Structure formats: C-alpha cells, structure tokens
Amino acid sequence: MREIQINRKTKETNIQLSLNLDGKGQSNIQTGIGFFDHMLTLFSFHSKIDLNLTCQGDLDVCDHHTIEDCGILLGTTFKQALGDKKGIARYGFFSLPMDETLAQVSLDISGRPYLVFHCDFHRESIGLYSTEMTEEFFRAFCTSAGITLHINVLYGTNDHHKMEAIFKAFGRACKMAIQIEGNDIPSSKGVIE
C-alpha cells in the first residue's frame, strides 16, 4: 500500500494528514477555509487518492500560512508514498472543461520541482480563500513532491470555474501519473530522485 500518515506543527499551523495513493477518492478535509476544503475534496475525488487533512492555522492573520503549509505537507506525503517510483506511469495530462472555462494540467513526476502557472483571476477572494494562493499552493506542492507541473487556463471568465477546473484536472493528471504500469523505474537514468 502506498499510504502515508504525517503530522507537522509550526508556530503558524498544526496539520494532520493521511494519504493513500491507491484509494477510492474518499476525503475528509477541514482547514477552516471552506472553498479550499472544497478544492481539495475535488482533487481527492478525481485522483482517487484518499485524503484526510485537518489544519488549525493562524487564520486570524490570513489564509496564506494554512494554504501554503497544506501544499508543503501534501507534496511531502505524495513523494513519500510514491517511494522509489518503480512502475509508475510518471506523466499525466488532463484537459478539463468547466462551463465557459478550459484548464489543462500536465505533470511529470521527475524529481525536478518546477511550476508553470498561467491563469488570471479577477476576484481577490472566494469566501475566505485568496485567489492568489492557488499558485502558491501548487508551488509548495511541486517543491515538496519533486514534480514538474504546468497549469494553463486557456480561457474562462468565472474564477470559481477556473479554480474548479484546475483542481479537477490536477486530480485527473495525478491519477494518470501514479498508476502502476510495470516493474521498472520510468527513467532512462534508472532512478528518479
């Protein structure tokens, strides 16, 4: 089983997270930021990764530490659960329409963290969730997970739809990349750091 449970406590956040890459997409997310909980629930459902995450953060300051730290810990557990990455597909891609919006997510479980993020938001926030934190969440995830991730929203007008399309497409791309295809490490180098 590719399953990890981890806790991380700082002066800004206290997070408990469990993750099962071979799950059914079941989740229980409680961060104190309703829209962020919704996005992580969508990610879990579409990736089929079981995810339980509870975060007590300094929301009296703002949402930054909570969202970024959740990205760090989710990326860390994702990388640990993959182990030596033997047999995984490695690459994932999904193009997802959500009403007037089209989002494309491409990723490579490469051991090389890199984020390309192309999406313009018009709203400053959705509920307690700052739209600018979307890029910060994915940067934190990429850095901790060691993946290359390209997120492109090709068009759209509704920021809620853009966000949903991104998180759903990310889940679908992850589902594709983590599936087991064989017994070899999918790299001509013979190793993925």
Judged by phi (left if over 0) then psi (alpha if -120 to 50, else beta), residue 156 lies in left
State residue 149's pLDDT score.
Answer: 98
pLDDT at 189: 87
Return the pLDDT at 190: 83
- 113 vs 1, 27, 29, 143, CA distance in Å? 25, 26, 25, 5
* pLDDT of amino acid 1: 79
Mean pLDDT, 10 residues at a time, the chain of 193 residues = 94 97 98 98 98 97 97 97 95 98 97 97 96 98 98 98 98 98 88 84
Q: Which homologous superfamily does the CATH classification assign to the domain defined by 3-178?
A: Imidazole glycerol phosphate dehydratase; domain 1 (3.30.230.40)
Q: Is 163 helix (H, G, I), strand (E, B) or coil?
A: helix
Helix (H) or strand (E) holding 137: helix 133-145
pLDDT value of position 192: 85
Q: What is the 3-state secondary structure (H, E, C) of 57-115?
A: ECCCCCCHHHHHHHHHHHHHHHHHHHCCCCCECCEEEEEEEECCEEEEEEEECCCCCEE
Residue ranges of domains in the chain: 3-178
* Residue 186: predicted pLDDT: 87
Q: Which phi and psi angles does 106 have, rounded to 5°?
A: -125, 135
pLDDT at position 44: 98
| The pair of three-digit structure tokens given for residue 2, joined into one six-digit string | 């590719």
- Residues 10 and 90: their CA atoms lie apart, in Å, by 32
Query: Residue 180 carries which DSSP code?
Result: B
Residues 11, 44, 65: CA angle, nearest 5 degrees: 20
